Structure 1
């Protein structure tokens, strides 16, 4: 009965959280869409205003660093604190005093502009002459910065700029890739290079996630052990350093998922209540829903959680199936790639209608190269802040590793991808095939166990039983 009640309570809590997230996202819809809905419902008011009100300008604060889109535009995620509407002969300005006083957004709005200068989170901006459509567009000339950055934002900008300049100095021509992998800034990365990651099925390797965070935590733990000489304190220091890295790089969904899992694991260890990997993933989803409910249903967040769920559920099974045919280290790497692809394949099929099986092979080969690249780039960047001469050694090495990675991605992109069609029925059938692979991965060990058990039972019937004193009893 307690187990049944716990499961029922967890289900109700999950449904309530999901309803709250959807409610919040509905409330955070763009004001332009709300005005459009109002005009459709009130034809008299629309006729009175000769076309109705339209959004002309907004004022607000950036909730995150600006990002370059796939079409080389720049996206601004703004927490709006004031908005101006206009119609022929009418100007209306709305200010949310509570939002300005408490620094809470009235609503969120995504702006798209040309590829201008990068702006950091916390910047106060004013956007004028907005143009609607599938998204809200603003010209670079009509985007103005007002006020100054808060103290923490200025400190973060100074540290990030100093570290980025050190990375470019020690990495040479591999500087854009080093900055993308260690700071999450892809502005300088070549569009063709980013396209290779996507075509090879390795786009997830560019997103800051648990792999990048584990490297940072490992380095911090090694340094802390040298200073503190206590494992527990070193672990706590690496935990604090992980949060500092998230603050420096920016809280993206993948990185937040990783640091929330690390937080839940550390808290469980402190309370002497260690949790399973799947429990940690579930707790991370709850924390992300509370911390950033607008991003929990984003595509990057879904990909991150799906990949991690695939690793938790299937990595061990794939490793068990592959271990007899290849060395242990290769088996583990290949099993991790297969498990991650199994987790993300339904998302890719249902959203884009494509499946890139080459990503399994390309990610398996590229993962160790990427790991060495990040370790070398991070170490050289930290040392290069104080000893710039390290660039004479690190730049050629990082350039060579980038060429190797480029060759691997080119080979993965050369392999064909599977197109599942545009119809949802075709995509659903393809997803059913992926699910059948999951079932097979779980079914094969069970069938082998049942077969061995049946053989043991037959042997007990045929062979004489062994007596407790070591002899044979007929």
Structure 2
């Protein structure tokens, strides 16, 4: 089966979509590079970076949601507004999104994007408190967040796709860190290869190794049974 199909069967389709994770990584890298320019300039560089990223990647509902949430967070930090909570930011993003692109509210990507983040904000702490009694805190936090996301996206998946993969609760907690490591490793390898061309073959070998580990892990999770409706 194809890699995309394996991701879907493992409950990991959301990882293939450009969304908050990718935008946060790009924004974080920009912040690290520009932190010596002063807070105001750092905020401006961050905002410019995420807008540029979205301009190149395209305005998918999930990516536009991430853009709105990031923009609101950056401007609140710039204005030193600390009273807004993550749920307030998501709610403001939802309202602005519906005003600018009302047709998006009927798209599956829109529902999954907002549903996943809302589930994490509302339920991840609850599930983490339950899990922390039996698993290490770091694992409990990751699985709790994944369970929170699945709690609101599962009904959408069942309605739109007719399937639900419970293994996504565990696979997301395992594969997401690997994807993050893969992205950061790719950026680091790219920079090093430009500076020292002789390093390129070693970098390519390492990236292929990490990619192989991710794909094999995804295919392992894809073997778990899913429910069809």
Matched, 1:208 2:18: yes
Q: Which has the larger radius of gyration?
A: 1
Give the distance between the partners of 1:293 and 1:416, measured in 2 at CA: 36
More strand by share: 1
Q: Structure 2 unaligned segments of length 5 or more: list them.
A: none
Q: Kindly tell me: are residues 389 and 287 of structure 1, through their superposed partners in 2, closer, same or farther at Cα, counting changes over 3 Å?
A: farther
Counterparts of 1:253-264 in structure 2 under 5 Å? 253-264=61-72
TM (normalized to structure 2)? 0.91
Higher relative contact order (Cα pairs below 8 Å, separated by 6+ residues): 2
Following superposition, the deviation at residue 236 of structure 1 comes to 3.3
Q: Residue 268 of structure 1 aligns to a residue in which SS? A: helix
Give the distance between the partners of 1:407 and 1:346, measured in 2 at CA: 28
Following superposition, the deviation at residue 379 of structure 1 comes to 2.7
Give the distance between the partners of 1:393 and 1:232, measured in 2 at CA: 39
Give the distance between the partners of 2:98 and 2:62, measured in 1 at CA: 13
TM (normalized to structure 1)? 0.46
Give the distance between the partners of 1:194 and 1:388, measured in 2 at CA: 32
Indicate the residue corresponding to 1:247 in structure 2: 55
Q: Kindly tell me: are residues 200 and 273 of structure 1, through their superposed partners in 2, closer, same or farther at Cα, counting changes over 3 Å?
A: same
CA contact (8 A) 2:6 2:218 kept: yes
Q: Kindly tell me: are residues 300 and 390 of structure 1, through their superposed partners in 2, closer, same or farther at Cα, counting changes over 3 Å?
A: farther
Give the distance between the partners of 1:291 and 1:388, measured in 2 at CA: 46
Following superposition, the deviation at residue 413 of structure 1 comes to 1.0
Q: Kindly tell me: are residues 217 and 389 of structure 1, through their superposed partners in 2, closer, same or farther at Cα, counting changes over 3 Å?
A: farther
Q: Residue 294 of structure 1 aligns to a residue in which SS? A: helix
Counterparts of 1:91-102 in structure 2 under 5 Å? none
Task: Give the superposed CA RMSD.
Answer: 1.9
Q: Residue 95 of structure 2 aligns to a residue in which SS? A: helix
Following superposition, the deviation at residue 265 of structure 1 comes to 1.7
Matched, 1:316 2:131: no
Indicate the residue corresponding to 1:372 in structure 2: 181
The one of 144, 147, 152 equivalent to 1:338 is 147
Following superposition, the deviation at residue 385 of structure 1 comes to 5.1
